[in-house]
Structure formats: C-alpha cells, structure tokens
Amino acid sequence: MPQGLSAAARFAADLIRIDTSNRGGGDARERPAAEYVAARLAEVGLEPVLLESAPGRANVVARVAGGQGGAPALLVHGHLDVVPADPSSWSVHPFSGEIRDGVLWGRGAVDMKNADAALLAVVSQWAGSGARPRRDIVLAFTADEEDNAAFGARWLVERHPGLFEGCTEAVGESGAFTFHAGPGLRLYPVASAERGTAWVKLTARGQAGHGAKPNPANPVTRLAAAVARIGASGWPVRLIPAVRAAIEAIADATGTPLPAGDLADLAAEDLLAALGPAAALVAGTIRNSANPTMLQAGYKINVIPHEAVGYVDGRVLPEYEHEFAATLDELTGTDATWEFAHREPPLEAPLHGLLPDNMAQALLEEDPGGVVVPYCMSGGTDAKQFARLGMNCYGFTPLVLPEGYDYYAMFHGTNERIPVSALDAGVRVMDRFLLRA
C-alpha cells in the first residue's frame, strides 16, 4: 500500500479485498465486509448495529447524533455487495484492491465500496475534529442490493424500521459525478428520480412432439416471436419533470437550442441528437424500456418441449406503469403470457429544497466551474426500499473525475477503477454536505 494514502483510499482498498460477490438467488456473503465497517464505526465512538438477515448476509446501521434537536434525520446508505468478476478478463485481480499510479482498481471501486469508504472517512474526520452534523445522520450499509434487496434494505425496512426513526430523506448511490460534456464544461448530475423495476417472465405453451415433425404449436417459436417483438419495440418519449428539467438544464449549460414545440413530441433519436455528448445523462430515462435477457426451453435437440420461458428486464417511469403493462399485453399477443417476476416502484423526489440545494452548493465549492443538473437514474437502487418508509430519496455519491474517464463503463465492467484523487474529492464534498444537510 502506498505511503501517505488517505483514509478513504485505505478503507476502499480493504473493502475491495473482501469478496462480497452477489450471484443472485441468495448466493452471497457480505458479513466479513459488514464486520469491517462495524469495526471502523466503533473505533470512532459510534454504536453500530450488525444485523444478519440470513447466515452470512449482514447489514450495518449506525446513527450519528446531530446538534439541532428536533430536526428530522437523514439516511445515508450504501451497499456492501458487488457483482461477480472474472479475474481472467482483468488487468489486475478484481479483489486485490491494488493502487497503481494513483488509481484504485477492483470490483466495487465505483459500485460502490468507494462510497462506503467515503462515509467511513467522513465520520472518522468528525471524530477527530469534533465536528457535528446539523441533524441526526443514519448510516446504513446493506447487503443484497445487486440482486433484489431481500436480504438487505428490504429486510431492514420490513423487520427493523425503528432504526430509521425520524428519517424524512435519504441519500444513496449514483449522481454527483463529473460528466465532461465538452471543452471546459463539467456537469454534475444529482439524482432525484429513478425508473421502476419491472422484471417480466414470459411463458409460451404449445404442443410437445418430435423435432422431425411439423408443429404449428411449437412454444419455442411462439416465445421467439414474442421476444423479437419486445426487443424491437420503440417505446415513445415520456418526459417526467426530473428528466424534462435535466434536458433543459443541459441545453442551457451547453448553449444548445432545443427544437421548437413540446419536447415529448420528438422522436427519441432527434431529442438525444440535440443534446450532443450530454445526451448520455438522459438517454436511459426518456421512456420506458424492455430488454429480453434470458431464454429457457427444451431438454433435447430432437424434442419439441411443451413450454418455453423468457425473461425481460423492464424499467418504467413514474406515472407510466399502466402504459408499460398495456404495451406488454400488445407485444406478447397470443404467443405468450407474461407476469412480473420482480417489481419495484419508480421514484421521484422534489427537485428543489434545502437538501438538493445543499448538495449543489457542496459540489460547486469543490468545483466552482461545474454545473449541477437534475438527473433520473435509469436503473434501481436501495432507495426503492427506503422510500417505503416515506422518505424522499436522492442519488448523491460525489466524485470529481478527470476528463477521459469513462464512469459509466466502470459499473459492472471489467477493470473497474477509480482515481484516488476523485475519491478524496468526494470525501470533501460529502463532509461539507452532511454537516449542513
């Protein structure tokens, strides 16, 4: 480990070296990472609660007392699990936590052990300086975010809601990273919304039989037809307030004139083309989506099965869940039936207020030349679970990133890595934000 390394970099490297790969279906073990986090919190005088939802599936919650009595509490959450990584495809071992030329490598460097480490570093600084936030800060480090939260945030919300007493707002992953939209133009998207999860199971049934004989009721053919229609479908543009505000803010920051008329009447391709490189910030959230991801059918090449099954990763915008369901009905037709395999609601929190204003101020104090813009996350986070307790949820894990760094490619990708300088800047931003949130 290089000398003079920041606390955040050390914590992040340590956490990366703890393999918390989540393979889905309950196959994960976060407890060693949870024990590490709990130990760091205890070292600075907090009283962490370590809760195991199943053997090896552990969560940690701690509360930092604020200085303003009676003020509502703020939840700050991050997950401890990561998606699996194949060492043979990486330049360094994904669980080495190696720091090379000022860059931290490993699974979780971006998603999201870096942010967990930043929170540990912030509370460590407070313990050393005597600093105290304005209101109570509840810290939650969760299991199972990379699957369906059944062993993590959902379990905490259902079984231990008292740990979050008084929390009216929550801050979690994604958002507040540097997006280089052009020469000298640095955007910082702060998330106030996220699309809902609508994972769908398709089932086609028909006549089983010999593979050598004609079969007009072949379920594999029926499933394939339905899947092809879903995959080729072009969903219409639907602009929720957060995304419309993001488009307008990006256009203003880039000096790009938007097409006349209602933006929602444009074709998706035309709307995105008008935004240039910054279109990447809204490309995944200007409409619902449904992407086929899995197919299961048959057991022998010369046997036509009686049933074929497929899975679709659907994502839905707030207020457009009914449109999603109606479209799936139309696309599957008589070839297949469909049902939700897993479903979580979309979220949208207020764009303006004390909390988002403080986020923007903390970012701009770190990078006065940056521009803060609204953001809607295309996927889902643990915020969906905490929103069930009535919290307004935001995505704010600040990183000040150098030009040329492909932030999006790091999520679940090979050679995941983060500059240590970006991590340290994130600690400074989070420190300023939480002290006055």
pLDDT for the residue numbered 70:
86
Q: And the tokens for 386?
A: 């905490």
**Residue 193: what pLDDT?**
97
Residue 119 CB neighbour total at 10 angstroms: 26
Q: Which residues of 326-364 are buried (b: 16+ CB within 10 A; e: fewer)?
A: ebbeebbeebbebeebbebbbbbbeeeeebbebbbebbe
Q: Does the annotation count 329 as an active-site position?
A: no
Prediction pTM value: 0.94
Extract the tokens encoding 85: 């990584």
DSSP state of 88: G
Q: How far apart are CA 30 and CA 76, in angstroms?
A: 19
Residue 2 has what pLDDT? 66
| Parallel, antiparallel or unpaired: strands 179-182 and 57-64 | unpaired
Q: What pLDDT is attached to residue 1?
A: 60
Q: How many CB atoms lie within 10 A of CB 100?
A: 12
Select which of 81, 146, 169, 382 is catalytic.
81
Q: Cα torsion for 176, 181, 184, 190, to the nearest 10°?
A: -20
Do the domains 196-344 and 7-174+381-436 match in fold?
Answer: no
Q: What is the pLDDT of residues 383-406, one digit of tens each?
A: 999 999 999 999 999 999 999 998
Angle, helix 113-129 to helix 31-43, in steps of 10 degrees: 20
Summary count for the chain: helices (H), strands (E) = 12, 19
Nearest CA-CA partner of 235 in 198, 260, 278: 198
Spell out the CATH class of 7-174+381-436: alpha beta
Kindly list the domain boundaries of the chain, sorted by start residue: 7-174+381-436, 196-344
Give strand pairing partners of 373: 189
| 116 is known as an active-site residue | no
For the chain, which ranges sit under pLDDT 70? 1-3
> Cis omega before residue 112 (within 30°)?
yes
CATH architecture of residue range(s) 196-344: 2-Layer Sandwich (3.30)
Write the single-letter amino acid at 331.
L
- Beta strands 137-142 and 167-172 are unpaired
CB atoms < 10 A from the CB of 372, how many?
21
CA distance 141 to 357: 25
Give the DSSP letter of residue 258: P
Q: Which of 145, 344, 382, 431 is catalytic?
A: 145
pLDDT recorded at residue 247: 97
The confidence score (pLDDT) of residue 260 equals: 82
Q: CA-to-CA distance for 220 and 222, rounded, in angstroms?
A: 5
- H helices present in 130-240, as ranges: 153-159, 219-232
